[in-house]
């Protein structure tokens, strides 16, 4: 079997043959009368035409002598074409035989007809090379078998694997459905800064960069939250943003350093109203993508049709982690429970951080059906408003489905004095070694002092929602180009 280098050298010779004949193997324009999907769908109508022109990538070649069949793919569908020596000039037929390989992109002109097996086919009268492929595609039946190679060469993964293409088309439909729903509810789509002087809006370690012209260090945003709240202050009552955020954290099956969320904020709303709304949004997306049937995920049928289950954060810690009174537990007691559950605790971890680690290890994976979790410790979410009548809890919730956190939401803290105190606690945590603690943002505090309406806001992970609705258990399967360690050549 020829080596990859020998295959490439052979294709370079074919490229030169085309050029020597005065043919541009990469022409500017394409004559295209119909996509391959349209050629299939509108076959009866198009077959009445004397000839039509189609284009696509050669995915298969078969036949011998004066008869050659080829399968084309253009991203919309596949279609069969036939080249017959006695129906095509000898120069064009020989040029095809001498220069065309699987992977080449070609333009073909001819007449549509049905074969004896009733296969829709184009009988070629003329053809042109549109892009000569210099590398061979993966073998048809096995494709790319190395998972990491699939992620590195996603273009080949998409080309050879219909299931992968379908997954990313589903992701696009999810985003489109979100936009339709939010636009219909009167939300304004906006874009906010990705390069920020301070990385706030969530507890996470940021990526740091430097702007040469201004000679200042900047951070890639970890969340758009603070900018979106400034827009509420500026008079926009309903705003949302679909976009990337970046966190300098570990990589696993549910985390990638860059990820996509939708965050929306609604003035004169609160956590309770957002619980109702987000449940409606998620159900609507599922209906748009799957219809009303349950969503199959792993071995489970996720039922979005019923009202979501509800539990408080502390109830779950009691039930699954067997912590008797988590609201009263000392850091030392929580660290002991963590050790018993095999949860790592760092010296700089606060009580809230240890509880969160226990929750993620021992509780969240067990929450399969859509579940709303409410009532979190105040310092767990420093941007959330305190629960009415409580000095220690915040009015917040998460939605967990299939063991994944899909939504984080809360009544937004609009008291600038309280917010400054919360940032102060975060600064102390940072000084004690918590690299994910939030910085005190004076510009945001100043904006709050002008008055922000009471509001409810939330974030939905587009990546994890796509994982659920495509029955996928690795986040890198739903990101076109996930972050990977450089390969040692």
316-327 tens-digit pLDDT: 999 999 999 998
Q: Is 242 contained in some domain?
A: yes
Q: Is 318 contained in some domain?
A: no
Q: Is 327 contained in some domain?
A: no
CATH number of the domain within which 130 lies: 2.40.50.140
Domain count for the chain: 2
Same domain? 97 vs 162:
no
For residue 433, pLDDT beyond 90? no
CB distance 259 to 476 below 8 Å: no
Domain limit, last residue, from 82, 107, 137: 137
pLDDT in tens, 106-148: 999 999 999 999 999 999 999 999 999 999 998 754 556 678 8
Same domain? 171 vs 278:
yes
Instruction: Give the domain extent around 125.
Output: 4-137
Q: Is 256 contained in some domain?
A: yes
pLDDT at 1: 46
Q: Is 437 contained in some domain?
A: yes
What is the average pLDDT score of the chain?
94
The pLDDT-based confidence of 412 (bands split at 50, 70, 90) is: very high
CATH number of the domain within which 471 lies: 3.30.930.10
Same domain? 65 vs 182:
no
3-state secondary structure the chain: CCCHHHHHHHHHHHHHHHHHCCCCCCCCCCCCCCCHHHHHHCHHHHCCCCCEEEEEEEEEEEEECCEEEEEEECCCCEEEEEEEHHHCCHHHHHHHHHHCCCCCEEEEEEEEEECCCCCEEEEEEEEEEEECCCCCCCCCCCCCCCHHHHHHCHHHHHHHCHHHHHHHHHHHHHHHHHHHHHHHCCCEECCCCCEECCCCCCCCCCCEEEECCCCEEEEECCCCHHHHHHHHHCCCCEEEEEEEEECCCCCECCECCEEEEEEEEEECCCHHHHHHHHHHHHHHHHHHHHCCCCEEECCEEECCCCCCEEEEHHHHHHHHHCCCCCCCCCHHHHHHHHHHCCCCCCCCCCHHHHHHHHHHHHHHHHCCCCEEEEEEEHHHCCCECECCCCCCEEEEEEEEECCEEEEEEEEECCCHHHHHHHHHHHHHHHHCCCCCCCCCCHHHHHHHHCCCCCEEEEEEEHHHHHHHHCCCCCHHHCCCCCCCCCCCC
Same domain? 14 vs 160:
no
Same domain? 240 vs 167:
yes
Domain limit, last residue, from 73, 104, 137: 137
Same domain? 133 vs 251:
no
Same domain? 106 vs 178:
no
pLDDT at 142: 55
pLDDT at 143: 56
Same domain? 124 vs 190:
no
CB distance 373 to 313 below 8 Å: yes
Q: Is 338 contained in some domain?
A: no
Averaged over 24-48, what is the pLDDT? Answer: 97
Same domain? 86 vs 167:
no
Return the residue matching tokens 């494709």.
143
Q: Is 482 contained in some domain?
A: no
Single pTM value for the model: 0.92
CB distance 362 to 338 below 8 Å: no
More confident residue, 462 or 143: 462
Q: Which of 79-88, 132-141, 185-194, 233-242 has the least mean pLDDT? A: 132-141
Same domain? 375 vs 463:
yes
Same domain? 286 vs 419:
yes
Q: Which of 182-186, 352-356, 460-464 has the least mean pLDDT? A: 352-356
Indicate the pairing of strand 120-131 with strand 78-84.
Answer: parallel
Q: Is 235 contained in some domain?
A: yes
Same domain? 28 vs 87:
yes
């Amino acid at each position: 079997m020829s080596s990859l280098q020998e295959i490439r050298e052979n294709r370079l010779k074919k490229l030169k043959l085309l050029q020597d004949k005065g043919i541009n193997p990469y022409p500017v324009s394409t004559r295209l009368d119909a996509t391959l999907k349209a050629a299939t769908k509108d076959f009866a109508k198009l077959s009445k035409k004397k000839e039509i022109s189609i284009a696509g990538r050669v995915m298969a070649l078969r036949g011998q002598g004066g008869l050659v069949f080829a399968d084309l793919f253009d991203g919309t569908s596949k279609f069969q074409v036939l080249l017959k020596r006695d129906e095509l000039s000898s120069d064009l037929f020989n040029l095809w035989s001498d220069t065309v390989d699987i992977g080449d992109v070609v333009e073909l002109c001819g007449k549509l007809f049905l074969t004896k097996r009733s296969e829709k086919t184009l009988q070629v009268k003329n053809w042109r090379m549109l892009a000569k492929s210099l590398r061979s595609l993966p073998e048809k039946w096995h494709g790319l078998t190395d998972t990491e190679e699939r992620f590195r060469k996603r273009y080949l993964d998409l080309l050879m694997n219909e299931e992968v293409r379908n997954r990313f088309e589903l992701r696009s439909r999810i985003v489109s459905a979100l936009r339709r729903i939010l636009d219909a509810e009167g939300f304004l789509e906006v874009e906010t800064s990705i390069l920020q002087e301070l990385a706030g809006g969530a507890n996470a370690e940021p990526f740091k960069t430097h702007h040469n012209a201004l000679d200042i260090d900047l951070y890639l945003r970890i969340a758009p939250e603070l900018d979106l709240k400034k827009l509420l202050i500026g008079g926009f009552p309903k705003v949302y943003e679909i976009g990337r955020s970046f966190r300098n954290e570990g990589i696993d099956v549910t985390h990638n350093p860059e990820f996509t969320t939708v965050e929306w904020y609604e003035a004169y709303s609160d956590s309770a109203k957002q619980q109702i709304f987000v449940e409606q949004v998620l159900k609507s997306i599922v209906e748009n993508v799957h219809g009303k049937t349950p969503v199959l995920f792993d071995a489970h049928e996720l039922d979005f049709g019923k009202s979501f289950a509800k539990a408080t954060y502390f109830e779950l810690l009691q039930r699954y982690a067997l912590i008797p009174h988590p609201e009263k537990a000392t850091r030392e007691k929580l660290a002991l429970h963590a050790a018993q559950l095999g949860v790592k605790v760092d010296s700089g971890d606060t009580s809230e951080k240890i509880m969160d680690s226990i929750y993620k290890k021992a509780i969240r994976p067990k929450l399969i059906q859509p579940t709303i979790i409410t009532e979190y410790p105040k310092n767990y979410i420093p941007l959330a408003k305190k629960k009415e009548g409580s000095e220690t809890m915040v009015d917040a919730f998460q939605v967990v489905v299939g063991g994944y956190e899909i939504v984080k939401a809360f009544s937004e803290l609009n008291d600038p004095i309280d917010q400054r105190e919360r940032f102060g606690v975060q600064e102390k945590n940072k000084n004690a070694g918590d690299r994910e603690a939030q910085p005190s943002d004076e510009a945001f505090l100043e904006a709050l002092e002008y008055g922000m309406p009471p509001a409810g806001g939330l974030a939905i992970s587009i990546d994890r929602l796509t994982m659920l609705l495509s029955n996928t258990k690795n986040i890198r399967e739903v990101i076109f180009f996930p972050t990977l360690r450089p390969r040692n050549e």
